[in-house]
Structure 1
Amino acid sequence: MSRLAIFDLDGTLVDSVDDLAASVNHALAALGLPPRRRDEIRGFVGEGARLLLARAVAPRDELLEPALALWREHYDAHCLDRTRLFPGVEAALAGAGRALAVHTNKPGALARKILAGLGVAGRFAAVVGGDEAPRKPDPAGTLELMARVGAAPSDTLFVGDSRIDAATARAAGVALVAVTWGLGSRAELAAAGATVFVDDAGELAAYLR
């Protein structure tokens, strides 16, 4: 059996809030809606593009579909303007002794584009996006990745930054390594059941060996 580490993307591997916020506000402006603050949009991230835009246009729910289309077009062109790997992540991935994969609620094509643009796509055996399996915390995408790689639950880690990731790991029956540099606070992660925390990529690297 293989040993596997499955990663969330936004807030875990990459800092993408600036590009997400720019594309959300582009969509809102095109629809005549006021912009959202960066910290507001940061709080909307993590449960997929549809919920991101639904929260952004609220209470104008009738504008969701055009907002989603406008966001997708803009984000596809600008998803790498300011998005970067978190410090030390590239080295941690390079030194991993486990197979690596990504399970994200971001659309799969966008996730792969970002990983390729940041030069790390080749580190991952597979990527499952939120339009390719039920969105997290449904564990189906994580279980699919485990099956593809041939990893048992006891040999699998889920690395994430949010209560959604904690719930996904729990539902899949795998251990969670919670990163503290992402979208969820340590307190939120602990309340969601996290017990193993890493504060930087150097600490994370030890779990990937």
Structure 2
Amino acid sequence: MIRNVIFDWSGTLVDDLPAVWRASNYAFKQAGVAELTLDQFRAEFCLPFKHFYQRYVPHVSLPQLEEWFHSHFKEVQHLARELPHAREFLRFCRERGLRTFLLSTIHRDHFAAQSAATGFDRFLDHPYIEVWDKRTKILELLQKHGLNPDETLFVGDMQHDMETARCGGVYSCAVLTGYNRLDQLRASRPDLIVEHLGELRAVLERNHLELVSPRIKGDAHRDEPPVVTVGALIFDAAGKALMVRTQKWSHLWGIPGGKI
């Protein structure tokens, strides 16, 4: 039974992708390198973020890049929004008596500002922030709070989060509301992939807080068959195409897509 939930912040509870993308491009511009499109940024951004910077701007020191990034992030931070279903899921954890933790790279100033806007910090028992490499921190978190890995779930939106869960021997759940795409997250082989926290809540409620899929320690193996959805480009009688804009796509327009 799941008794403890460790959350990532960005892309899991709060959508700050538009702000982070703009602040990163500002740093790139100051460094004299080409800016990235949103799709390019999602495909290339990784944690620990120093590896991302080393790949694109190796000639600039990390402290200088951080100064540029954070100075501009403060100007665009108003773009950050709480993700749909996040508040309801946090309340669900409270109602069920689940212990809640935060393990995030977010800067303390940005965490304070976004917490003031959302109030999510009130739902988090123990926040760990400014953690550059979560893989080196999760064992300390588990040991300090006496958490049983078999009763602990890590929820995040990036491959690094899934790797962190594996390092801690805890269950992993990938949400599709953040930075990494489905194909990237699937490659990390989490125990569970959901569209959003509302779907995760439904899974936990339906299974009485059990993750029923058998799990192999260190290997997020899933035995259930994949869920298939079909994409389509839909036209009306006048030849106009149906376009959809969603939070999942950072409020950009697109067409319904298929996946397995």
Q: Same fold (TM over 0.5)?
A: yes
Is this contact kept in 2: 1:7–1:159, CA < 8 A?
yes
SS of 1:170's equivalent in the other structure is helix
| Structure possessing the higher relative contact order (Cα contacts under 8 Å, 6 or more residues apart) | 1
5 Å-filtered alignment, 1:1-209, equals: 3-55=3-55, 58=56, 60-65=57-62, 66-75=64-73, 77-78=74-75, 80-96=77-93, 97=96, 98-131=98-131, 135-136=133-134, 138=135, 140-206=136-202, 207=204
Kindly indicate whether the alpha-carbon contact (under 8 Å) linking 1:10 and 1:46 is maintained by their aligned counterparts in 2. Answer: no
- The structure with the larger Rg is 2
How many pairs does the alignment contain?
Answer: 200
* 1:99-122 alpha-carbon deviations (Å, 9 max, x no partner): 111112333553344233322111
Shift of the 142–12 alpha-carbon distance from structure 1 to 2, 3 Å rule, reads: same
Cα deviation per residue 1:34-73 (whole Å; 9 max; x = unaligned)?
Answer: 3222222223434144344434xx2x42224422221122
Tell me, yes or no, if the aligned pair for 1:177 and 1:196 is still in contact at 8 Å. yes
User: In 2, Cα distance between the equivalents of 1:61 and 1:153?
Assistant: 38
- CA separation in 1, counterparts of 2:161 and 2:176? 13
Query: Deviation of residue 130 (structure 1)?
Result: 4.1
Contact 2:153 / 2:173 at 8 angstroms: preserved in 1?
yes
Letter matched to residue 145 of structure 1: L
Question: Cα–Cα, structure 1 residues 177 and 142, in superposed 2: closer, same or farther, change >3 Å?
Answer: same
Distance 1:176 1:165 in 2: 8
For residues 76 and 48 of structure 2, the distance between their equivalents in structure 1, rounded to whole angstroms, comes to: 15
Counterpart-to-counterpart distance in 1, 2:127 and 2:44: 22
Q: CA contact under 8 A between 2:42 and 2:180: conserved in structure 1?
A: no
**Alignment partners' CA distance in 2, 1:21 and 1:179:** 19
Moved more, 84-93 or 26-35: 26-35
The answer to whether the 8 A contact 2:17-2:80 is kept is yes
Contact 2:17–2:179 (8 Å) recurs in 1? no
Q: Where does residue 247 of structure 2 map in the other structure?
A: none
In the alignment, residue 141 of structure 2 is paired with which amino acid?
Answer: L
Taking the aligned partners of 1:123 and 1:83, their CA distance within structure 2 comes to: 19
Mark the runs of 5 or more structure 2 residues left unpaired by the alignment.
210-260
Shift of 1:176: 0.9
Kindly provide the amino acid, as one letter, of the partner of residue 171 in structure 1.
Answer: C
Contact kept? 1:44, 1:51, Cα under 8 Å: no
- Give 3-state SS (helix, strand or coil) of 2:5's partner: strand
Name whichever of 188-197 and 82-91 sits farther off: 188-197
Structure with bigger helix share is 1
Looking at structure 1, the residues matched to 72 and 150 of structure 2 have their Cα atoms a distance apart, in angstroms, of 41
Distance change >3 Å, CA 146–CA 118, structure 1 → 2: same
Deviations 1:149-189 (A, max 9, x none): 43211111011222211111111010112213332333332
Partners of 2:186 and 2:46 lie apart in 1 by 17
